[in-house]
Amino acid sequence: MNNVGILISGRGSNFRALSDAIEAGRIPARISLVLSNRASAAGLELARERNYPTVCIPSKGLGRDAYSRLLAREFKSAQVDLVCLAGFMRILGPELVKQYPLRILNIHPSLLPAFTGLHAQRQALEWGAKVTGCTVHFVDEELDHGAIILQHPVPVEDGDSEESLSSRILVHEHQIYPEALKLVCQNRVRVEGRRVRIMPE
């Protein structure tokens, strides 16, 4: 059984989707830690309601490496062996990433490698992309860069605003993130360079 740590900074809707799938028995994992860098994160409230071990480690004023050392300590004490970034607004330091090779997942609201970084949906609109979407990928030392596990396309519509596009993408985020976590937990993901192969059940 994998011990999953989920890192959030805000709303926590992806955390909710992961939690729903785990509690429904669809993913062989248990949530051993929900960590936020913001005390006001709505997702923290949900985590408490669901009786998960929660911790808030404020990141303000701390450099990437110092903050990552605090995270590593929490991961160890909660015996986390797999990490899901779910709207976590801090970048993990390279030392921490190295400690969890192919064991840290992230969800990003674009079809990577397009539109990395913040406001990916706005970037897609401003670029005039006809199709965008979402990506679950392994985290490596570079931002929004590691090997891609799953993606889902979403067409951009003429009347789209950042909000309307974001909410259509979000529906698919909530599907592919639990699916990707399941594949990893079932040990069905083979990584060859940048390419990820999904093994049959």
- What are the catalytic residues? 108
The vertex-131 CA angle with 126 and 133, nearest 5°, equals 95
Query: Please, which residue, 69 or 182, has the CB nearer to ligand GRF?
Result: 182
Beta pairing, strands 131-138 & 148-155: antiparallel
Task: State the nearest-atom distance from the C-beta of 201 to ligand GRF, in Å.
Answer: 27
**Residue 107, interface with ligand GRF (CB under 6 A)?**
yes
Query: Please, which residue, 13 or 19, has the CB nearer to ligand GRF?
Result: 13
Helices and strands in the chain: count of H runs, count of E runs = 6, 9
Query: Please, which residue, 69 or 162, has the CB nearer to ligand GRF?
Result: 162
**Residue 21, interface with ligand GRF (CB under 6 A)?**
no
Among 34, 108, 115, 150, binds ligand GRF (CB under 6 A): 108
Beta pairing, strands 189-192 & 195-198: antiparallel
Across the strands, what pairs with 35?
7, 55
SS3 188: coil
Q: How far apart are CA 143 and CA 89, in angstroms?
A: 11
Q: How far apart are CA 106 and CA 85, in angstroms?
A: 5
Query: Please, which residue, 75 or 115, has the CB nearer to ligand GRF?
Result: 115
Task: State the nearest-atom distance from the C-beta of 192 to ligand GRF, in Å.
Answer: 26
SS3 69: helix
**Residue 93, interface with ligand GRF (CB under 6 A)?**
no
Instruction: Count CB atoms within 10 A of the CB of residue 143.
Output: 12
Among 6, 86, 96, 176, binds ligand GRF (CB under 6 A): 86
Task: State the nearest-atom distance from the C-beta of 173 to ligand GRF, in Å.
Answer: 5
Query: Please, which residue, 57 or 69, has the CB nearer to ligand GRF?
Result: 57
**Number of residues that this document lists for the chain:** 201
Among 5, 12, 133, 146, binds ligand GRF (CB under 6 A): 12
Residues near ligand GRF, by CB under 6 A: 8, 10-14, 43, 86-87, 107-109, 170, 173
